Amino acid sequence: QVQLVESGGGLVQSGGSLTLSCAAPGFRMADYAIGWFRQAPGKEREGVSCISSIDGSPLYSDSVKGRFTIARDNAKNTVYLQMNGLKPEDTAVYYCAADWCSIPINQYEYDFWGQGTQVTVSS
């Protein structure tokens, strides 16, 4: 069973940037499609991006397109979510998950989840 670990969350001002990391110690990340999700208090979990295991092609939700970038570094066995132009509405717990990538980015298609990392964007 794949165990995923997120890191990189924190507090940032509006307009700032953060990079989240997703690792799976003991597993080869390149073998898995990885999705990033977020959940704000009182809201449903939202898929924001995913990356294919076949050709590395990325997908994004409309809410983050043009601001967030998902990428793999197979040498570091890590998937990143680079977040630029952060807004207060991006505040949420961010999760990575495996093993699917399609539009819409639907949480019910993912079997393995990390514990999440908090991102807080102040206005």
| Strand 46-51 relative to strand 34-39, pairing | antiparallel
Percent of the chain at pLDDT > 90 equals 96
- pLDDT confidence of residue 43: 96
pLDDT at 1 over 90: no
Q: CB neighbours of 78 closer than 8 A, spacing ≥ 6?
A: 21, 22, 23, 29, 72
Mean pLDDT across the stretch 34-60? 96
> CA–CA distance from 83 to each of 2, 28, 73 (Å)?
25, 24, 16
Whether the CB-CB separation of 72 and 21 falls below 8 Å is answered with: no
Nearest alpha-carbon partner for 93 in 123, 60, 115: 115
